[in-house]
Structure 1
Amino acid sequence: MSAGLDTRDMTSATDENHPFQPRLVGTTGHFYQGRIAETAVQEGTLSNYGPRSSPDSTQRSQPRNEHHHFKSAQWSPDGTTILTSSADNTLRSFILPPDLLSPPHPKTLEPYALHHPPEPIYATTFHPSYNLQEPSTCLALASPRSLPLRLFSPFAADRILASYPLVSPTTETWIAPHSLLFSPQEAHSFFAGSESCVSVFDANRDGEGPVTKMHTTPSRRGGAVGQGQGMKGIVSALGMSSEGMLAAGTYSRWVGLYDGFGRGGNAGVFPVATEDEIARGGGITLVVWSACGRYLCVVERASDGVGVWDVRGTGKTLAWLRGRNAGTQQRLGVEVVGGEVWAGALDGVVRVWEGLGMAEGVVDPSWGFRAHGDAVSSTTLHPTGPVLATCSGQRHSFSPVRAVGDLDSESDSDSSSFKSSLIDSQSSTNASSRRPPQATDNSLKLWAL
């Protein structure tokens, strides 16, 4: 396995006007543009990166549809590995080549190992102690539907190291959490969000259920959403601030705050729904804190923007970052790094809002660039160096007849061609008209900033 990416030669983007475009340095290319069966055969022939799962397990786990776009991508804490989740119920581990930033470009990205859970994956997360130089720490957690949570190594194909059951006390059915988060205070503890509940597990207790539960509503039969200090709905997003404040967001559009690194009391509950039509959304999919722990960014599906709350100040909406162009039920990831908010969109453009917390009211994106020829499902920056990872794809209602051509030349073109598309408050209704008909782009890309 590679020792990882050397970031000493990277140059940080310091120009406030951003006249340049990110440089494509790695991509999976057209490898995942074909049919699922074809991709499975091709992945089975790869041998230069490491072990592969058996063809039998691949065949058993393939769904009956032909959707296998990338749903998400995330960096390991040490920045050496990318874990992706796809619509074909496959988790893929990519190890960054150590010469990623050296010519020629772009490098071809191939998965090191594949995992094939028999059910769709609702959430994944890396263990906070992940270090590629210490194999015992290379762990990740996944939440498959109708099965216990599973702890696995990204480099041991289809091998489950530990499992954690979460069972409904009334129906005795498996509960699959929609959000996962390891505690920064205790690396062996992790949080799992489900229906009106946040469960706390001990990763050292294989085969055991949660050690404690925090119900987000006083009673399963109690009152309307948000009454008192409770909120009903699936806890679909979890985020921990640098000051130990746990934020829990729900599909019912409520946010709950819990102090003491998630072990303390309820510090407050507030709705993100407002009377302002510009801030409409279809349920929270992500809550992200600023580095200072003061600002909370709330991301929703079927939304054209990102809401920013000043938690330590007024506790009310500070700003609305509009022009996100995410009018879809699909989760489209958002990243907060320093004072910048990065977000992918349905039109394949990554947009950036600068000066987080510096402006109030409606804020337009500062700049953007075209990264893909389809919806950008994840936009995430390297933990220690200016390298951006993006992945793309979405469920199409038609059979793709062609793959989007190579966008490298477009990505290096002048950003002026995309300025007109940075702001579009009507994205939920006209996004499809801006996408090429019958085209797909299922790919993972790495960009040097």
Structure 2
Amino acid sequence: MEELWFPPYDLQRPPLLVGGAQEEFSRRPENFLKGCKWAPDGSCVLTCSDDNTLRIFNLPPPLCGPPAGPLPEMEAALRVPEGDAVYDYAWFPLLDSSLPHTCLVASSSRDNPVHLWDAFDGSLRGSFRAHNHLDEPVAPHSLCFSPDGSRLLGGFEGSVRLFPTARPGRLHDIRPLRRGRGQGGLIGCLACSPAQPVFACGSYGRSLGLYAMEGGGALALWPRLPAAPTHLRFSPDGTLLFAGGASRPRPQARHILCWDLRRPDRLLLGLERHVGTNQRVTFDLDPTGQFLVSGDTDGFVTVWDTLRPPSPGTPLVPPQLRFQALRNCVNGTSLHPSLPLLATSSGQRVFPTPWDSDEEGAADSDPPTRGDNRLQLWWWGGEATPRRP
């Protein structure tokens, strides 16, 4: 049987919109999405939305090339309701859909334990419980698995807790981060290096730290960033660390920042984007680590070539490509691990204006603004061709 070879991303033009899901998120008013993530094996994509529900959508078959026409509306293969607002969620990194015991999703929600869900039937596989000094249950605001899947990291107020994945319950290690010139505030984002036993965590106190998995103080610390980090990513070889935050209330903090961890004292790259709210807007790297893609609150998707030299006299890298996906916030972007396929999620909380009321004269005013809440799939390559032996 011939193996299919998929050409690299075609960045000379915007990608082709091939399908998505909108009706799934329209059954509840203003059910905006909170990001999307392809499974590690690329078999499905995971979303979270304001109705506190995780949804899994299977990869439409077959997507070995651009389809002849638009795909049918995608329907969720699985819905997993959480008990309250979902803070974060993460795929088990060793997921293989041919091995059911590896098909796991972790989620953290307000006033609940961290749950480990079965990605096939939605059953609860286990719970990880954390308590504060008053023995009250607390939930992490960020989650991340170690690359080998043996540990689940959770970000708390001034600390990171490490849970053994194989032993759900209350057993875990606590890593305080406030010591000396450490990190204070709530840890809102986490990332583990795919190449070294280290992890990075970003605090709402506008700090970023790098720590060894086995303990000790900060290996590197950036105490006062322009904005609080809301999303972190390591490059595939573990040498680069990317951090993106919100520009509100600091309009000058419009960048995804990048450091070379071999020289952490100087900023390597700055990638400009517009994030005008406190919403977490995620970004993603392609499997080679060369291209970074992100949405923004204006509905644009931007791609940068991280190997491209910055502009003279500044660390800013000009965009490789920018296109408008929607006229609403694109809060999540995720690149398929083996196909030139991009998933985007959209939506944001919409507050009614003073004239959106039932008072006399309201019928003569414009209708209230509604968000465009949907999952979209974009084909970003050419035709698939067979690889000759």
TM-score range, shorter chain: 0.7 to 0.9
TM-score (ref. length: structure 1): 0.74
Q: 1:386 aligns to what?
A: 340
Partners of 2:200 and 2:86 in 1: CA distance: 22
Q: Which of these residues, 205, 208, 211, is aligned with residue 252 of structure 1? A: 205
What does residue range 397-408 of structure 1 map to in structure 2 within 5 Å? 397-398=351-352
Change (3 A) 1:7 1:231: farther
Partner of 1:230: 182
Alignment check: 8 A CA contact 1:390 1:446 kept: yes
**Residue identity in the other structure for 1:394:** Q
1:345–1:167: structure 2 CA closer, same or farther, 3 Å change rule? same
Deviations 1:423-448 (CA, angstroms, capped at 9, x unpaired): xxxxxxxxxxxxx9824210001111
Within a 5 Å distance, the mapping from 1:109-258 to structure 2 comes to 109-157=74-122, 159-168=123-132, 170-185=133-148, 187-210=149-172, 212-218=173-179, 228-241=180-193, 242-258=195-211
Match of 1:295 among 240, 244, 258: 240
Which of 318, 321, 331 matches 1:367? Answer: 321
Alpha-carbon distance, 1:160 to partner? 1.5
Match of 1:25 among 15, 18, 23: 18
Residue 331 (1) aligns with residue 280 (2): yes
Q: What SS does the aligned partner of 1:68 have?
A: coil
CA distance in 1, matches of 2:278, 2:264: 31
Q: Note if 1:89 corresponds to 2:83.
A: no
2:120 is paired with a residue whose SS is coil
Q: Distance in 2 between matches of 1:355 and 1:273?
A: 24
Match of 2:42 in 1: 79
| Structure ranking higher on relative contact order (CA contacts 8 Å, 6+ apart) | 2
Q: Distance in 2 between matches of 1:129 and 1:138?
A: 8
Instruction: Give the partner amino acid of 1:104.
Output: G
Q: How does 1:342-361 map to 2 (within 5 A)?
A: 342-356=293-307, 358-359=309-310, 361=315
Could you tell me which residue of structure 2 aligns to residue 273 of structure 1?
224
Q: 1:12 to 1:369 in 2, by over 3 A?
A: same
CA contact (8 A) 1:7 1:384 kept: no
Shift of 1:192: 1.0
Q: Which amino acid aligns with 1:334?
A: F
Deviation at 1:163, TM superposition (A): 0.7
2-structure distance, mates of 1:111, 1:149: 23
CA distance in 1, matches of 2:369, 2:82: 29
Contact kept? 2:14, 2:321, Cα under 8 Å: no
AA aligned opposite 1:292? D
- Secondary structure of the 1:8 match is strand
Distance 2:264 2:170 in 1: 41
Partner amino acid, structure 2, of 1:197: S
Please report how far the alpha carbon of residue 190 of structure 1 lies from its aligned counterpart in structure 2 after TM superposition: 1.4
CA distance, structure 1, for counterparts of residue 333 and residue 307 of structure 2: 17
CA 1:443–1:272: 2 relative to 1, 3 Å? farther
Shift of 1:81: 1.4
Change (3 A) 1:115 1:291: same
Q: Where does residue 284 of structure 1 map in the other structure?
A: 229
- Secondary structure of the residue that 2:274 maps to in structure 1? strand
Specify the SS of the correspondent of 1:440: coil
Taking the aligned partners of 1:146 and 1:201, their CA distance within structure 2 comes to 18
CA distance, structure 2, for counterparts of residue 325 and residue 197 of structure 1: 30
Match of 1:20, SS state, is coil
Structure 1: gaps spanning 5 or more residues:
1-5, 37-65, 219-227, 275-279, 400-435
**Residue pair 1:93, 1:155 contacting (<8 A) in 2 also:** no
Q: What's the offset of the Cα at 1:8?
A: 2.7
Superposed CA RMSD: 2.2
Q: How far does residue 30 in structure 1 lie from its aligned partner after superposition?
A: 4.5
User: How far apart, in 1, do the equivalents of 2:290 and 2:53 lie?
Assistant: 34
Does the CA-based 8 Å contact 1:25-1:107 persist in structure 2?
A: no
Percent of counterpart pairs with the same letter? 31
Shift of 1:127: 0.9
Amino acid at match of 1:446: L
Instruction: Please tell me whether residue 321 in structure 1 is matched to residue 252 in structure 2.
Output: no
User: By percentage of residues, which structure has more helix?
Assistant: 1
**Within 2, Cα distance between the matches of 1:118 and 1:240?**
27
Contact 1:124–1:143 (CA under 8 A) maintained in structure 2: yes
* AA of the residue aligned to 1:110: E
Selected match of 1:447 from 352, 365, 378: 378
Aligned to 1:423: none
Question: Deviation at 1:177?
Answer: 0.6
Question: What residue is the counterpart of 2:360 in the other structure?
Answer: none
Q: Deviations over 1:243-296 (max 9, x none)?
A: 33211111111111113xx1143343423636xxxxx32x11111112232221
SS of residue paired to 2:138? coil
Q: Deviations over 1:70-101 (max 9, x none)?
A: 11111111011111110111111111122134
Q: Deviations over 1:330-363 (max 9, x none)?
A: 1111112222221101111101111347435223
Kept in 1, the 8 Å contact 2:93–2:147? The answer is: yes
**Distance 1:333-1:437 versus aligned 2 partners, 3 A rule:** farther
Aligned residue for 1:136, secondary structure, equals helix
Contact 2:142 2:187 in 1 (8 A): yes
Q: Give me the whole-angstrom Cα distance separating, in 2, the residues matched to 1:9 and 1:314.
A: 37
| Cα shift at 1:365 | 1.9
Number of equivalent positions: 353
If each structure's strand is expressed as a fraction of its own residues, which one has the higher value?
2
Distance in 1, matches of 2:96 and 2:264, equals 39
